[in-house]
């Protein structure tokens, strides 16, 4: 009997020692940040790293958002955008026609009431970025508005004027006359990490001073289906609740720093369905600075046509792809030896990238040392710079890494900085953009400038509406907003005090409408 108990105690002691050794070894390895491996199936062994949860001692990020919310909510404003009622059609100054009077000759005698057109009112958000009243918002919030009213978080109201817009990034800059306004400082959107907490601050459904929280779900996201190539999309995707009215509001990190401008939601209902998108402040801040300093965006381009490496297989599976297109895509695919990056599929005329030595089939993987995973990410990086800036572009060429110095240019192929005349911008009271190649094909023209927004000014007073295509000003063909503004500046500077010397004659048309000619008096 004693022998049996002796054996039992011996076995128990061995088990206890083995268990202690196992626990001690695991604890030692965990404390040294080493991996613990498990073995499964003696005949077919897998060694997989196991992280034992709860012991390795890195504290979770502080999720108390009160400080960030309190420091940012006063820097976000409510914007009311009013478009006045129009009594005339797009094609000209035509009054409303009563159909009873037109066909039967008795007009309102039969009790028919002419409908009274009502002004359209939209709402959105904006972010104060300077103490003297500059506010960044979305272009679609203020697009086409005749009047802008800004309400601060303390309920003060101001009339705002349009400084400039950039439809390509959906960013606009407006200004109110005020001092010592609360601002939200800029953060670094490039340092954001997927999984990091962020807050969306805005005015959804006209509910002012609303704060929601979520995490960064993805970066460098493009969302347009059949995207307009003139658009620049490299959104921060989050799951913070964003709804109509949040557009133009702030996306901030837990430090209360501005990292994005909330712009869009992905939804089948029009309301939040789990995904929202913000323009990174690395893009939006640069656009706002350009609009303030120059009145127009200094758009830099490399002169390349590109596609994400990961999208090539999708393109190859596209129905109705021609044999030539398949051949070209397969030729690109054969050259690619990496799984991420922006593949150069072709070059534009006067391409600075081609002149620097970049070749068709090269995959751009970094710009100035910042990793590039997609074509959208490449757009984001290039958008940070201006024409004339030089960047270091790293490419993978059939498995070999090469770096080139590329001098960026503007859309016209030169490096000059374009500055819009301040006088012309103030007097005309309008925002313009050059026609895209797609618009030119649709409209059947080879040049022209579109009126994309109107506030109080000479164009609006003359009867010009949003969407008007300006073709000729003072007998000169117009291809860019800068050409229009230079003509206006010359007239303003060169004209005498006589009114006859201060006119411009604008010729153009409305899409699906007639050609129109406007004589615009620039005299005060």
From the candidates 125, 140, 166, 282, give the one annotated as an active-site residue: 140
Q: Is 276 a catalytic residue?
A: no
User: Who contacts 143 (Cβ-Cβ below 8 Å, separation ≥6)?
Assistant: 165, 167, 172, 452, 453, 466
In a 3-state reduction of DSSP, which class is residue 8?
helix
Scanning the structure block, which residue is given the tokens 């007097």?
Answer: 427
From the candidates 125, 189, 247, 424, give the one annotated as an active-site residue: 247
From the candidates 146, 170, 362, 396, give the one annotated as an active-site residue: 170
Rg (CA), the chain: 30
Q: Is 78 a catalytic residue?
A: no
Neighbours of 2 (CB within 10 A): 6
Nearest CA among 90, 378, 338 for reference residue 233: 378
Give the distance, in angstroms, between the CA of residue 360 and the centroid of all CA atoms in the same chain. Answer: 28
- Rounded to a whole number, what is the distance in angstroms from the first to the last CA of the chain? 119
Q: Which two tokens stand for residue 524?
A: 């005060």
User: Who contacts 234 (Cβ-Cβ below 8 Å, separation ≥6)?
Assistant: 219, 220, 221, 222, 280, 283, 376, 377, 379, 380, 383
Q: Which two tokens stand for residue 135?
A: 């506010």
Q: Which two tokens stand for residue 122?
A: 């939209």
Contact predicate 290/244, CB 8 Å: no
The DSSP call for residue 501 is: G
Neighbours of 230 (CB within 10 A): 16
The span from the CA of 282 to the CA of 279, in Å, is 8
Q: Residue 512, CB half-sphere, CA atoms under 13 Å: how many?
A: 3
The DSSP call for residue 524 is: -
DSSP string, 152-208: -TTS-EEEEEEEEEETTTTEEEEEES-SS-----B--GGG--TT-EEEEEE-GGG--
For residue 433, the cross-strand partners are: 450
Q: Is 140 a catalytic residue?
A: yes
Q: Which two tokens stand for residue 409?
A: 């240019």
Helix (H), strand (E), coil (C) string for 383-435: CCCCCCCEEEEEEEECCEEEEEEEECECCCCCCCCCCCCHHHHHHHCEEEEEC
Neighbours of 83 (CB within 10 A): 16
Give the Å distances, CA to CA, from 521 to 372, 474, 502.
Answer: 50, 13, 6
Q: Which bin fits 33, alpha (ψ -120 to 50), beta or left (φ > 0)? A: left
Phi, psi of 27 (to 5 degrees): -65, -40
Residue 413, classified by CB atoms within 10 Å of its CB into exposed (0-12), middle (13-18) or buried (19+), is: middle
In a 3-state reduction of DSSP, which class is residue 19?
helix
**Where in the sequence numbering do the catalytic residues fall?**
140, 170, 247
């Amino acid at each position: 009997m004693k022998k049996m108990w002796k054996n039992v105690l011996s076995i128990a002691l061995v088990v206890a020692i083995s268990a202690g050794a196992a626990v001690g070894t695991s604890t030692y390895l965990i404390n040294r940040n080493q991996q613990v491996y498990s073995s499964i199936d003696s005949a077919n062994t897998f060694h997989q790293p196991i992280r034992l949860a709860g012991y390795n001692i890195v504290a979770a990020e502080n999720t108390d958002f009160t400080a960030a919310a309190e420091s940012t909510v006063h820097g976000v404003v409510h914007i009311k955008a009013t478009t006045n009622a129009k009594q005339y059609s797009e094609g000209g100054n035509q009054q409303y026609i009563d159909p009873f009077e037109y066909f039967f000759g008795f007009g309102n005698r039969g009790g028919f009431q002419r409908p009274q057109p009502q002004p359209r009112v939209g709402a959105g958000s904006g972010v104060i970025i300077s103490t003297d009243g500059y506010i960044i918002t979305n272009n679609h919030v203020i697009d086409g508005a005749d009047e802008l009213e800004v309400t601060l978080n303390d309920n003060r109201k101001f009339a705002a004027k349009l400084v400039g817009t950039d439809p390509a990034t959906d960013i606009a800059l407006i200004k109110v006359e005020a001092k010592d306004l609360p601002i939200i400082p800029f953060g670094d959107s490039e340092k954001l990490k997927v999984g990091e907490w962020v807050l969306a601050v805005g005015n959804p459904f006209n509910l002012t001073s609303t704060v929601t929280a979520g995490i960064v779900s993805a970066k460098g996201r493009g969302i347009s289906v059949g995207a307009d190539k003139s658009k620049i999309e490299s959104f921060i995707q989050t799951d913070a609740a964003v709804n109509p009215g949040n557009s133009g509001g702030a996306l901030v990190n837990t430090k209360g720093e501005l990292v994005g401008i909330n712009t869009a939601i992905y939804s089948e209902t029009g309301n939040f369905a789990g995904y929202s998108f913000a323009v990174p402040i690395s893009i939006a801040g640069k656009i706002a600075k350009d609009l303030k300093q120059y009145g127009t965006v200094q758009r830099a381009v490399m002169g390349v046509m590109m596609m994400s490496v990961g999208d090539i297989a999708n393109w190859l599976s596209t129905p109705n792809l021609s044999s030539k297109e398949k051949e070209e895509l397969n030729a690109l695919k054969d050259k690619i030896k990496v799984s991420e990056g922006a593949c150069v599929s072709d070059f534009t005329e006067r391409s600075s990238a081609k002149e620097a030595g970049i070749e068709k089939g090269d995959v751009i993987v970094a710009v100035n040392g910042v990793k590039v995973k997609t074509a959208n990410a490449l757009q984001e990086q290039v958008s940070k710079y201006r024409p004339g800036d030089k960047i270091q572009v790293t490419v993978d060429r059939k498995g070999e890494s090469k770096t080139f110095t590329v001098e960026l240019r503007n859309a016209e192929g030169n490096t000059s900085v374009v500055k819009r005349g301040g006088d012309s911008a103030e007097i005309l009271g309008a925002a313009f953009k050059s026609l895209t190649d797609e618009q030119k094909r649709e409209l059947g023209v080879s040049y022209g400038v579109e009126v994309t927004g109107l506030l109080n000014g000479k164009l609006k007073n003359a009867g010009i509406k949003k969407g008007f295509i300006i073709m000729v000003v003072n007998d000169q063909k117009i291809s860019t907003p800068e050409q229009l503004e230079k003509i206006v500046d010359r007239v303003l500077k060169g004209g005498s005090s006589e009114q006859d010397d201060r006119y411009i004659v604008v010729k153009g048309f409305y899409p699906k409408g007639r050609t129109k000619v406007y004589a615009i008096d620039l005299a005060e």
